Amino acid sequence: MTKFWLMKSEPGCFSIDDLAESENQTTPWDGVRNYQARNFMRDQMEIGDHVLFYHSVKNPSVVGTAEVVKESYPDFTAWDPDDPHFDPKSSEENPRWFMVDIKLLEKFSNPVPLKFLRTVGGLEGMELLRKGSRLSVMPVAKDEFKIICRIGKE
């Protein structure tokens, strides 16, 4: 059963264009250091799940879609002291952080701003729209995913 997700990225850090230019348009989703977000990736994401790619910070928007192409494995960037997401409590023997690989499906011709999402019927229950929502990886309902895709392709 295909599941649906939303993943946040700061475009200055890794944008959908960076994904488009990656080898095979695929990237490991490294750097997540939040347990709830990790658990979604580690325990629930499966190959073939679909992802809304979200840019935060400036005019935050859903900018496209991607697909999970590799299920969770240890986030090795946590072991690198020179990496900004280094975590000394994670080790190869006992990894604390996990990631999946995602592959670009489609870059929206019409990116959908957060501001607009708040006005769309059927999205009232979205985790993303909750005040103070800070999760960087979150589940999305199938209907919500479809609504947003339809707008994004307009």
Partner DNA sequence: GCCAACGTTGGC
Does residue 57 belong to the site contacting DNA (CB under 7 A)? yes
Does residue 91 belong to the site contacting DNA (CB under 7 A)? no
Q: In this chain, which stretch among 21-29, 41-49, 54-62, 103-111 interacts with DNA, using CB under 7 A?
A: 54-62
DSSP H or E stretch at residue 55: strand 50-55
Q: In this chain, which stretch among 19-27, 32-40, 62-70, 98-106 interacts with DNA, using CB under 7 A?
A: 32-40
Does residue 34 belong to the site contacting DNA (CB under 7 A)? yes
CB closer to DNA out of 23 and 43: 43
CB closer to DNA out of 69 and 151: 151
Distance CA 77, CA 112 (A): 31
Q: Which residues pair with 9 in a beta bridge?
A: 55
In the shown chain, the binding pattern of residues 109 to 128 toward DNA, with x for contact by CB under 7 A and - for none, equals -----xx-------------
Contact status, residue 103 vs residue 24, Cβ threshold 8 Å: yes
Distance CA 102, CA 79 (A): 21
DSSP state of 14: S
Contact status, residue 57 vs residue 66, Cβ threshold 8 Å: no
Does residue 33 belong to the site contacting DNA (CB under 7 A)? yes
Distance CA 120, CA 2 (A): 24
Q: Which amino acid is at 77?
A: T
CB closer to DNA out of 120 and 135: 135
The binding site for DNA (CB under 7 A) comprises 8, 10, 33-36, 56-57, 60, 89, 114-115, 130-136
